Amino acid sequence: MPDLQVPVVVWGGGTGGVAAAIQAARRGAHTLLLTPGPWLGGMVSAAGVCAPDGNELSPWQTGLWGAFLRGLAAAEPTGLDHNWVSCFGYRPTTAEALLRGWVADLPRLDWWPDCRLLGVARRGDRVTGITLERQGMACRVDPQLVIDGSDRGELIAMAGAGHRLGWEAREEWQEPSAPPRRELETNPFFAEQPVQSPTWVAMGQLGGDQLPARSAALSEPLPEPFLQAAAAFGLERTITYGRLPGNLVMLNWPLHGNDWHRGLGRAFAMDDPQAEQELFQQMQAHSLAFGRALSEASSGWLQLAEVFPCLDSRNAALTGASPLALMPYWREGRRLLGLSTVVETDLLPVRQGEATIAPLPRRDGLVDAVAVGNYANDHHYPGGDWPLAPKSCRWGGRWSGTPFSIPYGALVSADTSNLLAADKCLSVSHMANGATRLQPLVLNIGQAAGLAAALCLERACAPAELPVTALQEALITEPQAPAAPFPLWDTPWHHPHWRERQLACLADPARLSDRGLLDLPQAGSAPAVLPPPERFERSYRGVFGSDGHGTYQLHTQEGSWPLISLEPAVAHWLANQVHGMEVGLVGVANPWGPWLRVTRV
């Protein structure tokens, strides 16, 4: 094939890759998306991680994440309230169809699936060409701007761009949860576990809504190596952790389940594809064994379900159907060396245990925020939980992570002038990666990277030269999926003054307090703003209960419901009710939570 010149090339396979490509093309940039497999969506579809974590509260449901979430809610016939690990559950095919519809609507976006990255050419500080194999032939693509939207940062490595892989010592950035340098240098664990453990998700199918009585009473443990998998929560809760519409189940269980911990260095040996293939086969066999063990323990209530296309051994052709996702769920990979680096202390709230925000990131005297995340931080390794500095608060009847902002500088390579990062390969520390790696935030990181690339083309400037205020304004005013650079606790995505309040932060960031509240009375009172109606809402009446510490219940004639809400107006109302009062609520019941998600009062 002859060389092809394209303004924006995205190496994908991650959720951030498709987000970057969509947003660059929506802004008008001719964009080419390259993915190594036959599906688009990375962890939200191809990797099967269909119960997203983080950004669950309505103030953080903005940008492509918010549009994706509302698209899923409209497409799933029974809605998204199906499990207890997340407030949202959907089928992988639903997500993939939604993303493909977005891509098909963009004449300036071309998607090439089933590509293999062969090499990246570089001249001075620029990527000048990408060589890949497609349809059995080698070809070269020459980009003006290139975006790495992959989980493992393959293009970053091939481009010779500065990057990190593995742990950093506590002394590097004074991160409270990082290991001291002496321990890092002497304990073999850190060499054996260079990144967080990945999972190869498998999909199951439940035979009904309840575990059979004979299995519920089962006292025999699961076989090795899953002996303790159900010890903490019991068999039924272990299985329904990731329940999805249609009684599908996402098997992605970290506690003695199908996380994989051995030989992870093979995932980054780019000159040894055989080693990578052996790793993949071991991960797949482990997940299938876990699924079969749960099936046997539940007397067949859970069966493995052939939900995904099945690829041949070379990932080159579809050969049927499989319960295994099309790719692993990578929690961590190579991380760009950017103009800014997000470290653990950048994510921690001003005051522990309160609804505050982390300090806004700054670069060159300006607030550099381009995406909001709020995940609590979570690391996966063999053995017990890694101790992490707390960054959560009680809000709306549940624990939620306090919000933080990703700086634009973390998306921009420090040494490769036309390279941006759009997935979990952005410039973060190993410890901070535990809070920045989740689907919702990665969608909006990708959106910011794609929009930045398009703006760079419009302005004929390099990513490092792009004024961050131009990117922030473009995110806030984006016609199809406006995205919040600034964390405002009291301003949900549907607030009638959402854009005004975000632009006010942009004009004067000092008006945003450390409690995530904006001094802007003319914008209206956020507690009076309720969300649009939902399909599965119904009315409930009963006696309100509160323990005085942020936990609420509704006691009805049919039974009692724990109460949660994702809405600022409802959270404010719940916090101000008197124990023992009769109340009327509207909400969506999730018996697998179990909770009643209150949407209005």
Instruction: Report the percentage of the chain scoring pLDDT > 90.
Output: 88
SS3 state of residue 321: strand
CATH number of 538-600: 2.40.50.140
Say if residue 377's pLDDT is above 70.
Answer: yes
Locate the domains of the chain by residue range: 4-163+331-521, 202-322, 538-600
Matching fold, domains 4-163+331-521 and 538-600? no
Asked if pLDDT for residue 527 goes beyond 80, the answer is no
Lowest mean per-residue pLDDT among 104-118, 191-205, 330-344, 509-523: 509-523
> Rounded to whole angstroms, how far apart are CA atoms 303 and 584?
40
> Token pair for residue 487?
């964390």
At residue 449 the predicted structure's pLDDT band, cuts being 50, 70 and 90, is: very high
In sequence order, the 6+-apart residues with CB closer than 8 A to the CB of 481 are 23, 62, 63, 64, 66, 67, 447
Among 472, 257, 285, 483, CA closest to 380: 257
Task: Specify the amino acid at residue 412.
Answer: V
CB-based contact 247:287 (threshold 8 Å): no
d(CA 300, CA 205): 10
Before 225, cis peptide (omega within 30)?
yes
**What's the pLDDT score for residue 1?**
47
Full 3-state SS string of 416-473: CCCEEECCCCCCECCCCHHHHCCHHHHHHHHHHHHHHHHHHHHHCCCHHHCCHHHHHH
Task: Kindly compute the dihedral angle of the four CA atoms of residues 60, 62, 67, 71, in this order, to the nearest 10 degrees.
Answer: 30
Predicted confidence (pLDDT) per residue in 195-237, tens digit: 999 999 999 999 987 778 766 665 567 899 999 999 999 999 9
Could you please state the CATH topology (level 3) that the domain comprising 4-163+331-521 is classified under: FAD/NAD(P)-binding domain (3.50.50)
Task: Please list the alpha-helical segments (H only) found in 350-438.
Answer: 433-436
Q: Residues 21-68: pLDDT tens digits?
A: 999 999 999 999 999 999 999 999 999 999 999 999 999 999 999 999
Spatial distance between the Cα atoms of 182 and 482, rounded to a whole number of angstroms: 46
What is the distance between the alpha carbons of residues 451 and 448, in angstroms, rounded to a whole number? 5
Report pLDDT for 251.
Answer: 98
Among 572, 479, 502, 570, which residue's Cα sits nearest to residue 531?
570
The residue among 193, 276, 198, 204 whose CA lies nearest residue 14 is 198
For residue 562, count other CB atoms closer than 10 A to its CB.
16
Instruction: Decide: 462 and 144 in contact? Cβ < 8 Å.
Output: no
CA angle 574, 576, 582 (to 5 degrees): 70
Beta-ladder partners of 538: 587
31-34 and 4-11 beta bridge pairing: parallel
DSSP E strands, 340-382: 362-363, 366-367, 369-373
| CA proximity to 515, closest of 526, 499, 507 | 526
Q: What is the average pLDDT across 255-278? A: 93
What is the model's pLDDT at position 319? 63
pLDDT at 507: 95
What pLDDT shows up at residue 385? 81
